Amino acid sequence: MDSIKNRRILDVLAGNPVDKTPVWIMRQAGRYLPEYKKTRAEAGSFLDLCKTPELASEVTVQPIRRFDLDAAIIFSDILTIPDAMGLELKFEDNRGPYFDTPLNNLDDVSSLTDENNSSLEYVADAIIHTKEKLNNEVPLIGFSGSPWTLSTYMIEGAATKEFRKIRSIVFNDADMLNMLTKKLVKSISEYLIMQAKAGANILMIFDSWGGLLNSNNYIDFSLNPMKEIISNLRKDKITKNTPIVLFTKGGGNWLNEISKSGCNAIGLDWTIDIASARKIVGENICLQGNLDPCALHGSKESIQNAASKIIDSYGFGHKHIFNLGHGIDQFVNPDNLNVLIKHVKDYSVKYHNH
Ligand code: CP3
């Protein structure tokens, strides 16, 4: 057994009682922190920051030094896998990440490699550096994008407005999408195992664009491939017991199906009431979320009220990990995040004393 001191999140995921609701924040290492901006400038670019283990580990621990968080998440990006598969990832400020030559057909997919762990070793190295810096204070979360979400970037070239290209391919070139999905399932499974081997204690799958799909297509092209990844992880001796969090943004319609995927926790965006979500998924699964990220632009009192509402809505029980419903944005004042985290810790105690 590992010797991590703050075990709240690991306890929640293992079904053990905790003294208060644990909290971490999606995108907790990011541009809202002045120290992140400084290290990013030192790295030269976002991609250099991701690919330099010493600096990636530094920004991973920055929010842990500043706030009373219960987990760190490795600083990287979901688009490292497409980059390693052969689509060169580019990044421009004010535009975000993109690919110059997105996939158009089966031949394009055939030319991608799915043997890419060796070119992703910088992520394993960043995890190893981070574990040293964390000194067992809190667990470390590793992550990947889902096959569907990575496919959207690889086919669209970037996050687009309508996602018309990939949404049409769902209907008129399922062979192409299935071949891509198959390669991604293999790559992602191996990548997550590599992260666990390097020291990640929890694994999270970000399905940021699952909510674009209709129900049948969500099951076929997003949930089933994620289930395959989970089953691959359960078959591997390194990850067979590693807790897995699955987050489909816009997935509120499919919580029952997601709860049967084999994951240990479901990430919720802010559009669903957490009490309703709990009723749907039952008591065997943990929930993570789900404050509207924009609540962090409110006054101290409104931030506290918004957080209390979520904690009240979840009610008694130990299977809630507090988080935002999506990533923190770059314009949030870090002091407001401190208000939120302190309040979650103080206010939630009453729901754990039983
Ligand atoms: O949570 C963390 O602190 C870990 C780091 C992390 C990043 N990206 C760093 C990042 C994680 C977990 C991600 C995941 C990610 N990346 C997702 C899934 C989560 C989600 O938001 O739905 C997606 C869709 C991406 C793709 C991506 N990367 C986009 C769309 C952007 C641009 C958006 C923006 O905020 O500008 C990025 C860039 C990115 N990834 C930044 C960070 C901190 C901002 C880069 C910078 O300018 O410094």
Of 40, 77, 148, 268, the one to substitute when testing ligand 1's pocket (max ligand atoms within 8 A of C-beta) is 77
Atom number of ligand 1 nearest to Cα 208: 22
Arithmetic mean of pLDDT, 249-270: 98
Is 234 among the catalytic positions?
Answer: no
The string of pLDDT tens digits covering residues 54-81 is 999 999 999 999 999 999 999 999 999 9
300/308 Cα distance (integer angstroms): 12
* pTM greater than 0.85: yes
Among protein residues, the one with the nearest Cα to ligand 1's atom 41 is 30
Residue partners of 48: CB distance under 8 A and separation at least 6: 55
Note the pLDDT of residue 298. 97
Q: Is 224 exposed, middle or buried (0-12, 13-18, 19+ CB in 10 A)?
A: middle
Residue with tokens 């799915």: 114
Estimate the crossing angle of helix 174-198 against helix 164-172, to 10 degrees: 110
Among protein residues, the one with the nearest Cα to ligand 1's atom 33 is 96
Catalytic residue among 8, 27, 36, 83: 27
Distance 29 CA to ligand 1 centre (A): 9
Distance 27 CA to ligand 1 centre (A): 7
Note the pLDDT of residue 212. 97
Q: Is the pLDDT of residue 45 over 90?
A: yes
Residue 205's CB is within 10 A of a number of other CB atoms, namely: 26
Q: Which CATH number applies to 8-351: 3.20.20.210, 3.40.50.10540, 3.30.565.10, 1.20.210.10?
A: 3.20.20.210
Peptide bond before 16: cis, by omega within 30 degrees of 0?
A: no
Note the pLDDT of residue 1. 52
Q: Is the pLDDT of residue 5 over 70?
A: yes
Note the pLDDT of residue 96. 92
170/166 Cα distance (integer angstroms): 6
Distance 77 CA to ligand 1 centre (A): 6
Query: Which amino acid does the sequence have at 73?
Result: I
Arithmetic mean of pLDDT, 335-353: 97
Rounded to the nearest integer, the mean pLDDT of the chain is 97
CB-defined site of ligand 1, < 6 Å: 26-31, 40, 46, 73, 75, 77-79, 96-97, 143, 159, 206, 208, 249, 327
Arithmetic mean of pLDDT, 249-274: 98
Query: Which amino acid does the sequence have at 59?
Result: V
Is 191 among the catalytic positions?
Answer: no
Arithmetic mean of pLDDT, 284-302: 98
What percent of the chain is modeled with pLDDT above 90? 97
The string of pLDDT tens digits covering residues 122-155 is 999 999 999 999 999 999 999 999 999 999 999 9
The two structure tokens encoding residue 192: 């997550």
Note the pLDDT of residue 17. 97
Residue partners of 38: CB distance under 8 A and separation at least 6: none
Catalytic residue among 7, 32, 36, 40: 40
Is 77 among the catalytic positions?
Answer: yes
Note the pLDDT of residue 237. 98
Is 27 among the catalytic positions?
Answer: yes
β-bridge mates for residue 286, sequence order: 265
Catalytic residue among 7, 36, 70, 153: 153
Distance 310 CA to ligand 1 centre (A): 25
Backbone angles phi, psi at 92, to 5 degrees: -130, 140
Is 66 among the catalytic positions?
Answer: no
Note the pLDDT of residue 94. 86
The string of pLDDT tens digits covering residues 177-230 is 999 999 999 999 999 999 999 999 999 999 999 999 999 999 999 999 999 999
The string of pLDDT tens digits covering residues 80-130 is 999 999 999 999 988 899 999 999 999 999 999 999 889 999 999 999 999
Atom number of ligand 1 nearest to Cα 28: 3
Of 25, 66, 78, the one to substitute when testing ligand 1's pocket (max ligand atoms within 8 A of C-beta) is 78
Q: Is the pLDDT of residue 322 over 60?
A: yes
Residue 264's CB is within 10 A of a number of other CB atoms, namely: 21
Among protein residues, the one with the nearest Cα to ligand 1's atom 36 is 96
Residue 5's CB is within 10 A of a number of other CB atoms, namely: 10
Q: 142-172 as b/e, with b when 16 or more CB fall inside 10 Å?
A: bbbbbbbbbbbbbbbbeeeeebeebbebbee
